[in-house]
Chains A and B, each alone.
Chain A
Amino acid sequence: MEALFLLIGISLVVAIVFLISFLWAVKSKQYDDDFTPSVRMLFDSETKSGSNDNTSN
């Protein structure tokens, strides 16, 4: 049963890692704009391929 102490300790540490990463995400303003990134990821990369017209509409 002593393993329980260890396991709970580990689970708490893992949870705290996630809490810290959440706080980091908030701090780095990832929640400020929840629209632009969703559009940005759909943009084609740098070079324009002339025949590629699928992106319209």
Chain B
Amino acid sequence: MKRKEVREKVSCFHCGDPCESEHVLFQEKDFCCHGCRSVYELLQACDLEDYYDYADNPGIKTLKAPASDRFAYLQDESIQTKLLSFKSENLAKVSLKLPAMHCASCIWLIENFRKLVPGVIESRVNFVKREAAFTYDPQIVSLRRLVEQLAAIGYEPELNLESTSQKKNHRGNFKLITQIGLAGFCFGNIMLLSFPEYLAIGEELTIQYRSFFGYLNFALALPVLIYSASDYLKSAWRAVVRRVINMDVPISMGILAIFLRSTYEIFFEGGGGYMDSLSALVFFLLVGKWFQQKTYDSLSFERDFKSYFPISVQKLDGEIEKSIGIEQIQPGDQFRVRSGELIPVDATLIEGDARIDYSFVSGESDAVKVQGGEALYAGGRQTGASIVLEATKSVDQSYLTGLWNSDGDQKEEHELESFADRVGKIFTYVILFIALSAGAFWMVFDPGLVLNAVSAVLIVACPCALALSFPFAYGNAIRLAGRKGLYLKNAAALGRMAEVSHIVFDKTGTLTRGSDSTVEIAEFELSPLDKAVAAAMASQSGHPLSRMIAKSLNAADQPLPEIVNFNEVKGKGLKAEFAGDRYRLGSADFSGACLAKEHPKNASTVCFSRNGETVAFFSIKKEYRSGLNGLISNLKKFYSVYLLSGDNDSEKERMQEVFGQRNGLLFNQLPHQKREFVAKLRRQGAITAMIGDGLNDAAALKESDLGISVADDVFRFAPASDAILSTDGFHHLPDFFNFSKEVLKTVRLSFALSFLYNGIGLFFAVQGILTPVIAAILMPISSITVVAFVTLRTTILYRNKFAQYSSG
């Protein structure tokens, strides 16, 4: 929301926002609103002023005070049991997601939370996950009070249905780090014990020492094989059983070949074996895996409808209202939905004035008025006063949930075979062929060398460098893309991005800037009082235009006059009276002659009149993201682009102009139609990227090969997808696509490089003269050069692609 004038450049001591309409001076400090001042006062009273020392203006602007019973459901025993990780009579533990944390001061304040709320014993922040674990005494402070107090200082916890489902499993990461640690430990020790072999003093050592070192090496290599390498072996085994070949098959062949040959040498020939190469290989592979995996802990790519739904509803049992978990709702139950809450299940309206905003589900932003007895669908947001509904379905069977679950594991089937696996397949066949040929050759000329040559081929051909180039190229590229605002879920997502041929856009929130529209006020004789009345009227309506006007007039931050006889005429506007004057806010013919000087293109005009006389008019312009035309035409050079909008076709012309095409621009699309459209493209063999936001695109995002969800705040809401694109990075979209292609090319080049090393290794191997020293030199060198090559090339590519924009 742009404000035209800024009176003076004073920023709020608490939150750093410019102090404008409601400049508050308190103890010689400037505050932008009473909310910020009261937080400051509260912190000061609790001796927590240090908060302001660790970062400049660390505070979070607190919005309008939430309804007092907003967190009432937290008193419910069954909901508490789901949220708490531990509870006894005077000790309880809970872990809450606090997405508002953003700086060192936040950490300090949350960790000193016990000073603010008596009864809190300890609080510990995990900033990376934006989480805090609280230990408190339920005798002194309730969970509800704790959460309310957090919300009061601006750190409202993210509480939704998802937080009550099972906690995510963090064992995966623990296992990987343990595997790396163990492999690293064994690698180091085996290398030390192998030194005599490297220096060729092995021959001079007595047999006693040689076999001692050999047995030790064997003992150290066992855990590497059994524990650290287990994932590769299992994956390869599964692939073989399913009669497919992936990258893990040649890796496992190499690992097993090294292990068996070395064991044989150690026990039967008194030699040293290649255990060092084995543990080094496993160690490097695991490090690569870790590098690739360690991406964005704090982002959630798996959000489903649960993360949008409230935890509980107020169930009406006769006269008594009771909070129950939403999964407990049965068809026939009556429950209350308050203003601003989401309807959790399909239901019929029993009582109250329902104005439902289905923008979450359909993308259509106008609120729908529903009559008593009519059906309401899950996902709608009530914008009017509180209503009473009767459930017709349970949560699991509602339309929205059904949409989500309908395609189940279809995606698994037509998952693209990754480039690595394709290479792995060819590679495996070639290596087997060479090994067998070498074996056959020596069978004829020197049968004693057969085993030696065959195992050496398998060892040297182990695609270590090949397997490393992927994780390092992709891991590095994902990290670099993250710096510019594209957060990819995993390497597979980046791989698919490089192969995309069709791109489908959503309109609202993706190409337009969601709620961020410019509101321009043309004043005729708008007094401050009139302005306040307009703000009061607009804030009582749930209509999107009203909301934008209310926001532009800062309705939330100021006391508003008590207007009477408020009435909303659907499709026309708002009527109200104040101090004997009749006010109207709405379309031109509704609010009286509205003499707009000129009707701006692509803008909605709202007139404001007092006693039939126009006093102001607001023109509201949906703002498209900057550089949209260039962006689309840029993408059109390489991709087929489409537009799917849940909105009506009022902006059709504008969109045709932007896209430079008439076909492939569809309006009035419902979520399942969007999904169908994407599915149809995919059936035609197109690799499709869907770029959208909000729940209405969720099904299409899930259906597409690459779902990118656009979000203003990546730590907050974003539907399940393969990537989250911050709105700051939106203008880089063509660069991201281009970058992904270049990364794939880098990987291809690195493959060529590693084949070169394999060729050299094979040269020794087929002759049966591969010594441990050559293996110990060749393998790390090939790995290191390949890793260095891909890391450097992706970084240079990133610099070239994004550097010229670095200013903005």
Contacts and interface: CB of A to CB of B under 8 A. Distances in A.
Contacts of A4: 209
Interface residues of B, number: 30
18 contacts: A5-B212, A15-B185, A15-B189, A19-B185, A22-B181, A23-B178, A23-B181, A27-B174, A31-B177, A32-B128, A32-B129, A32-B173, A36-B107, A39-B107, A43-B54, A48-B47, A56-B53, A57-B56
A57 B212 CA distance: 60
A53 B47 CA distance: 15
A39 B110 CA distance: 13
B108 interface: yes
A8 B212 CA distance: 10
Given A15-B189, A19-B181, 11 more contacts: A12-B189, A12-B216, A18-B185, A19-B185, A22-B185, A26-B178, A27-B174, A32-B173, A35-B127, A36-B127, A56-B52
A43 B108 CA distance: 7
B54 A26 contact: no
A39 B104 contact: yes
Contacts, number: 66
B181 A32 contact: no
A33 B185 contact: no
B296 to A, nearest CB: 13
B126 interface: yes
A26 B49 contact: no
Contacts of B54: 39, 42-43, 55
Contacts of A15: 185, 188-189
Nearest to B49: A48
B210 to A, nearest CB: 12
Interface in B338-377: none
Nearest to A26: B177
A53 B49 CA distance: 12
A33 B53 contact: no
Contacts of A32: 126, 128-129, 170, 173
B189 A55 contact: no
A57 to B, nearest CB: 8
Nearest to B206: A1
Contacts of B174: 26-27
Nearest to A39: B104
Interface in A16-32: 16, 18-19, 22-23, 26-27, 31-32
Contacts of A43: 50, 54, 108, 111
Nearest to B220: A12
A48 B50 contact: yes
Interface size grouping (class) on chain A: 20 to 34
Interface of B: 47, 49-50, 52-54, 56, 104, 107-108, 111, 125-129, 170, 173-174, 177-178, 181-182, 185, 188-189, 193, 209, 212, 216
A57 B181 CA distance: 38
A19 B186 CA distance: 10
A49 B304 CA distance: 48
Given A43-B108, A48-B49, A56-B53, A35 B181 contact: no
A49 to B, nearest CB: 10
B181 A26 contact: yes
A19 B182 contact: yes
A35 B53 contact: no
B734 to A, nearest CB: 33
A55 to B, nearest CB: 5
A54 B107 CA distance: 19
A35 B131 CA distance: 12
Contacts of A1: 209
Contacts of B111: 40, 43
A32 B131 CA distance: 12
Closest 8 CB pairs of A and B: A33-B126, A36-B127, A39-B104, A19-B185, A55-B53, A35-B127, A33-B128, A56-B53
Nearest to B186: A19
Given A48-B50, A56-B53, A39 B178 contact: no
Contacts of A35: 127-128
Contacts of B53: 53, 55-56
A39 to B, nearest CB: 5
A48 B650 CA distance: 60
A12 B216 CA distance: 10
Contacts of B173: 32
A40 B107 CA distance: 8
A32 B107 CA distance: 16
Given A15-B185, A32-B126, A34-B128, A42 B178 contact: no
B170 to A, nearest CB: 7
B370 to A, nearest CB: 47
Nearest to A16: B185
Contacts of B49: 48
A39 B127 contact: yes
A36 B50 contact: no
A4 B129 CA distance: 49
Nearest to A57: B56
A56 B51 CA distance: 10
Nearest to B174: A26
Contacts of A36: 107, 125-128
